[in-house]
Structure 1
Amino acid sequence: MDPRLKEAAETDNIDALHVLIRDDPNILERIDKIPFVQTPLHVAANEGHIRFAMEMMNLKPSFAKKLNPQGFSPMHLAVITERNKLVLRLLKANKDLVCVKGWGGLTPFHYVVKTGNCRLLVSFLEASPECIEDVTVRDETAFHLALKEDQIEAFNILIGWLQRTRRTHGSVFSFEKKMANWEDDEGNTLLHIAARKDQRDALKLLLDSQLWLQVKAEDSAGFTALEIIKGAYSGDVTPSRNDYESKEVETKIKQLKDKVTFERIRVLGDRTRLSMSVDMINTMLVIMALVITAIYTSSLSPPGGVWQDNGEDNNAAAAPTPAPSLKIAQTYHLSNNILNTSKILIFGDKSEKAGTTVMNKQIYGVFWFLNLATFGFTDLVTVFLLSSFHLFLFLAIPLYMLVISYFCSMTILAPSISWAYVNLFFMVLFGSFHSCSSSRCSS
């Protein structure tokens, strides 16, 4: 590299850079042709000169991914020298710089984990979530590096992010299971490393948060993690707190370190939805629409129909009929009694008000339960599927109104005042839950 160019980078002199380019337009192109070379961007990154570095990124973006003779990219140097502001500016310009591999397959993200810089760790995960899948030439993940460097707080954040990420790789749990049980080139899983280094906080965190750990996996020496853990596992996790410059990042760090509770269900739901193809979602929405239509129709026209008038309004005596023979009369009365008994058992006697179902209370209870279970399940599945669309709230409003209409209809059909109150209660409960779930899914 031209000494004048190096001096301009060291002194943050952008004007000198422009003069050199005017005098020699190919001065940067000659540097770019060398595979491993110290570029002006490396020098600026090492010195923390933001303005010069961003100008160089503008003029020669390819310099950002070049490795110097020591195997470092400009982002590597900025991370190692703790030029955090420059790191964030480079990240904003190109998030893929997080995954540039240097000597040994170590990326800037790996160095952030090794140094325990939690502020940059959260920023890297947000900007480039795929960086957590990068491994070194020794098959080490960021989780392995955090434990080997005794960066328990960084490991805590990584585990928290792993539990909360919506990214899917195959099944709902496959990505999380793969990362939690990853083995390095010596067959060491996270449990092996934590047990061998007697990192009790990390052990407790793994055993509490990861239900699918392969505790019987053996390392290259033939030991399982449980054999190493015996006699060494006790105590509680007491993560340390650091004072970070940004309160926003500090809040995110705290959230990642908090134990996952009900949020776990929502994360798994998001992973499930994101793993579904568009055709599958469309097919399921059609099926759910048909089921909801059928159930809603049954609330308008229940089996057996409804009473057309009040029971006391229809007590007029029937017109007399000629008396049949004795044998025919006995058979007639017997079959008529059986028929009336069956009708009363299923539909109830005619003492109800007009507009209510002819079913008796017991049969109505079975009908009500099956309808509610089917309608509630299909409605929630529909909300779940629609929550991936941008205009979800507009789509959820008709569903919300349909729920209210359904319970209003079931209230009117109720064969008794007690069943009417039950329907009113569920109308309020289900409507509130529906609106609450809709707002949460849209957020």
Structure 2
Amino acid sequence: MERRLYRAALEGNVPSLLQLLWEDELFLERSLVGSHSDTPLHIAAMLGHSEFVSKILSLKPELACELDSQRSTPLHLAAAKGYADIVKGLLNTCKEACLVSDKYGRNPLQVAAVKGKVEVLEVLVQVEAEAARIVNKSGETVLHMCVKNNKLESLKVLVGMFGGEDEFIDWKDKDENSALHLAAADGQFETVDFLTTHTRADNHSRNLEGFTALDLLAQSTTGTKEKAIADNQTMSKQTRVSSSSRASKFPSGAYNWKKHFKRQNSWLERMWNSLMVVATLTASMAFQAGLNPPGGVWQDKAGDNSTSVPYTVSIFGHDMPENSNITLRAGNTVMGGSSYGVYFTFLVFNTIGFIASLSIIILLISGLPMRRRLFISVLTVIMWIVVTSMALTYAISIEFLTPLEQYLSFKVISFGILAWTGLMTLLVVSHIIRLIVKALRACIKAVTHRRKRFTV
């Protein structure tokens, strides 16, 4: 008899169902403890047999909340197939099924959204709007799921019903990505246009990696994006007229994104070129200073091959004479012989600037994907090191070349070094504070996000 029941469910044969119940009134009760995980209601709901579903619901309404092997209710299956009438009947019988998650962590409303069943989605939102606010284990809302499955029509329905709730539109997953972030990263221009022109989505919000939606859009394949924008811009009037109802409701905003995209690329290009020029100049300066340090090199007298001079250690104007002499030969640096401490400090900072400049040049010409905001920021930090090293090299050189009697000159050098140190300290502290603020915001959002998940 169990086989006859499932055959009736497959065919949607209500008379066969009634015949079985006439033969055994407890037959539907026994089907709940049978060997099959799928109930007759699951099968009928999946196949769209609305009359059969209505009859079973009237005889055994608790079947509406039963789960199959995939932890799906009959409502999950009907929503996935887009059977609006069956969905309404199931909701009238078991409204709580709309909040049940299946094996994949999706409730019936989310299933309808990712399948693009707009009519069913509208029904589910009207009956149980709270189901749209449920997030999965990754912290994703139904909006994230719509974007991941490229279901713009479902997204429009949800935004139309929750458009006034900024928190719903800007909700972020565990990686701090909003639906707008995902759409931009995937190059879904229509979705990006819709979210930026018809909602108050925060396009300045950053994810855990520090990227805005605009940054992610710029990082996608340039050719594909520009072609998509161009196609959208050159759409024929006939096409616009044929979709005038949709266009009037959701006008295109692709032009703004094209302008921002070009501006982003222009900034990256300028920074790339500037870093290359500055790194080349500083490398040349450091190379020249290394071969020809301040004071020059020792010149031999005719017939001599070496000269002995008193050996002193001098650091920023403070001489500490030693008890021995140092022998200088032709080509040895005068600075290294007369003030080794100054020369050693000069050599350290000059070498740091030289190596850092060469590193920037190699990275920029290596062919690696350096034309990204994150990489440009890293190279900019290295350039700070280069410039600071060059400034200290200059200060050491001037200190060596200036006689100790010229006290005012040393004051100028000291004040210059202090001013530069203060500026660098201010920049470093500012960036550290900025990173701390970002980290705190991320922690607060994560805690708030977690609390909301548990409260839902």
Q: TM-score, normalised by structure 2?
A: 0.45
Between structures 1 and 2, the one with greater strand share: 2
State the TM-score, normalized to the length of structure 1: 0.46
Which structure has the greater CA radius of gyration? 2
